[in-house]
């Protein structure tokens, strides 16, 4: 009875052991079988053009040493030196005799101080206030038209006269002029306010300053807005203003 139970048990244990051994063996495969399938690699065959290139087979040529290079290498490390890392002694060159410097030139340096009179000084133009035979007040400038044009334009700008049009081709200035306007000066707040409101209702008139050149001189006459000569007091005051400003060298 006992033998009948033991035999099946042993058979089961033996079967289990064989199965376990096969499983364990599968975890560690036999490496020798891999070498059975190896193939020997044939030797490398170079192309004909590369095989003829002897530069690939020969080593790099050695750099030749010149006598000066060999002597320098021999002097770099001497047998009597105490240390291989000791730097070679540097010999300073003998100082050369100082050459005398050339004497400095004693010639005086002349600096030109001459400047253009037209740019350094105000253009001085003689002006004369006269009355023609027709009774027209005229301001005569003893200068050609180009100089007279610049002088009149500069005088109007200096006296802050409002020029609305400058027509050089027609030789005339169109402007607004108030003969009662006073020169600008420092004023208080109330004086400024009065000046502003008074300026809105001021006695500003439109005039034309016409230039006529002849024989190297230029005459300036005052025309009204209808291109007619005017002989009122405002026109005469404008001519005197231009005369004083030009005669003063534009300093007033």
pLDDT digits (tens, 9 = 90+) for 101-125: 655 555 555 544 444 444 434 558 9
| Residue scoring higher pLDDT (183 or 228) | 228
Residue 246's closest CA among 147, 165, 166, 164? 147
Q: Does the global pTM surpass 0.85?
A: no
Hey, is 187 helix, strand or coil?
A: coil
94, pLDDT greater than 50:
yes
Of 223, 241, 220, which is closest to residue 231 (Cα–Cα)? 223
Look up the CATH number of domain 125-247: 3.30.310.170
Domain ranges of the chain: 125-247
Region 166-187 average pLDDT: 81
Residue 183 confidence (pLDDT) above 90: no
pLDDT at 21: 60
Q: What is the C-alpha separation between 239 and 130, in angstroms, rounded?
A: 10
Per-residue pLDDT at 203:
75
Per-residue pLDDT reduced to its tens digit, 210-252: 999 999 999 999 999 899 998 889 999 999 999 999 998 866 5
**Euclidean distance between CA atoms 88 and 241, whole angstroms:** 93
pLDDT the model gives residue 44: 79
What are the pLDDT digits (tens) for 151-170? 999 999 999 899 999 999 99
Q: Does the structure show a pLDDT above 50 at 191?
A: yes
Given a contact cutoff of 8 angstroms between Cβ atoms, the answer to whether 102 and 95 are in contact is no
């Amino acid at each position: 009875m006992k033998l009948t139970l033991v035999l099946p048990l042993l058979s089961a244990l033996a079967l289990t052991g064989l199965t376990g051994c096969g499983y364990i063996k599968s975890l560690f495969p036999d490496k020798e079988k891999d070498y059975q399938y190896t193939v020997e690699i044939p030797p490398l065959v170079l192309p004909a053009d590369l095989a003829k290139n002897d530069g690939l087979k020969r080593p790099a040529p050695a750099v030749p040493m010149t006598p000066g290079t060999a002597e320098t290498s021999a002097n770099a490390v001497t047998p009597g030196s105490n240390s291989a890392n000791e730097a070679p002694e540097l010999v300073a060159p003998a100082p050369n005799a100082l050459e005398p410097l050339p004497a400095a030139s004693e010639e005086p340096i002349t600096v030109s101080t001459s400047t253009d009179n037209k740019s350094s000084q105000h253009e001085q133009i003689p002006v004369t206030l006269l009355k023609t035979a027709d009774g027209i007040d005229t301001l005569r400038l003893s200068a050609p038209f180009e100089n007279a044009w610049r002088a009149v334009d500069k005088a109007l700008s200096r006296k802050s006269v409002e020029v609305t049009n400058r027509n050089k081709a027609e030789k005339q200035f169109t402007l607004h002029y108030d003969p009662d306007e006073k020169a600008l000066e420092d004023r208080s707040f109330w004086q400024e306010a009065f000046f502003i409101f008074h300026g809105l209702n001021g006695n500003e008139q439109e005039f034309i300053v016409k230039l006529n050149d002849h024989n190297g001189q230029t005459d300036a006459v005052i025309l009204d807005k209808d291109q007619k000569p005017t002989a009122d007091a405002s026109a005469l005051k404008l001519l005197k203003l231009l005369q004083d400003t030009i005669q003063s060298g534009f300093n007033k």
